[in-house]
Amino acid sequence: MVIKKNIAWLFLVLGLMFILLAVGLCALSVGATKILSSDVLKFFTSPDITSVNYSILFNVRLPRIILGFAVGSALSLAGVILQGMFRNPLVEPYTLGISGGAALGVCLNIAFQINKTLGIISMPISGFLGSGLVIVFVYFLSYRKGVLKIQGLLLSGVMISFICSSLFMLIMAVMRVEDLHGIIFWTMGSLEQSSWLLIKIMVLISFIGLAVSYVFCKQLNAFSLGAEHAMHLGINTQRTQKILFLLTSLLTGASVSVAGIIGFVGLVMPHLVRLFTGGDHRILLICSYLAGGIFLIASDAIARSIISPLELPVGVITGIIGGTIFIYALNKKRGK
């Protein structure tokens, strides 16, 4: 029975990897300039660096696909961990106020014209600083007498998110009109990141997050029974919760800082994957990780091509598709 389950899990992971490669190939082909899939493969085997298509593929589309995978997988992984830790299917990475803090940091950056002095790289840095300050603030609000109050953490995060959103709108109300377009586009999410350094850092954070989460997959399975049951099983619940909270905060903060606010990935993908894998985090973590990357790459390809040559913010596409998938998953679960 165990062998059959492991074989089924192996085929499921391999299937998702195949879908990831197929979606990545399609994403390389579509856009304002259509490139045949056969021509894309030729560029990988015998590249012509003087070609315009080569520049489009390797300087524009490939970085977006790599970043899309890293951000989508990180957000989906953070969603799985938080939903398992809180035992609440509606918890997502942005619930803790991280996105609000990042958006406020970027808004202040543009309002004080720091990006014009330090360059475009100051945008993700200010976003990460904003999300980091919110993480620290929410953590200490929920930390009492050496104990991290999980429910208090969730409520504090929601309230801080509302406060940050209100401050964000206040600053936007007094900003110059010419600065509004850039910040609104950023808050709806975009994978148009020109810095390879930031992309590599995001990929590294994503891989580290997956590796660390697997160290705690048994603890996450125990949390599904409740914190008290997990404690009776010999798990140090307080230490585990602190580490997992910091891990999800790092994954979300880095994602928001580099790509803006991209909703529904961390909420919907764990729900959808759970319908096929069940609640065992040994398979749920890796499948959600891959599914999140696939979903964001596909959404970005649609955003780039649906009204080509114009480009939609990827957060618009993830919201429409993600909301539809969530309703489907919810109704299917009720039917069962």
pLDDT tens for each residue of 49-96: 777 887 888 888 899 999 999 999 999 999 999 888 888 777 888 877
Flag whether pLDDT at 336 surpasses 60: no
Burial class (CB in 10 A: 0-12, 13-18, 19+), 38: exposed
Q: What is residue 194's predicted lDDT score, i.e. its pLDDT?
A: 67
- Strand (E) or helix (H) holding 143: strand 143-144
Burial class (CB in 10 A: 0-12, 13-18, 19+), 179: middle
Cβ-Cβ contacts under 8 Å for 227 (sequence gap 6 or more): 150, 237
Average pLDDT on 239-254 reads: 85
Report field, pTM of the whole predicted structure over 0.75: yes
Give the DSSP per-residue string, 216-278. Answer: THHHHHHHTT-HHHHHHTT--HHHHHHHHHHHHHHHHHHHHHHH----SHHHHHHHHHHHHH-
Q: What is residue 75's predicted lDDT score, i.e. its pLDDT?
A: 93
pLDDT digits (tens, 9 = 90+) for 25-47: 999 888 877 887 777 777 777 77
pLDDT band per the 50, 70, 90 thresholds, residue 325:
confident
What type of residue sits at position 142?
S
Q: What is residue 146's predicted lDDT score, i.e. its pLDDT?
A: 66
> According to the per-residue pLDDT averaged within each range, which of 8-17, 96-105, 156-165, 308-317 is highest?
8-17
Query: Coil, strand, or helix at residue 31?
Result: coil
CATH fold, domain 2-335, is ABC transporter involved in vitamin B12 uptake, BtuC (1.10.3470)
If one compares 13 and 120, the residue with the highest pLDDT of the two is 13
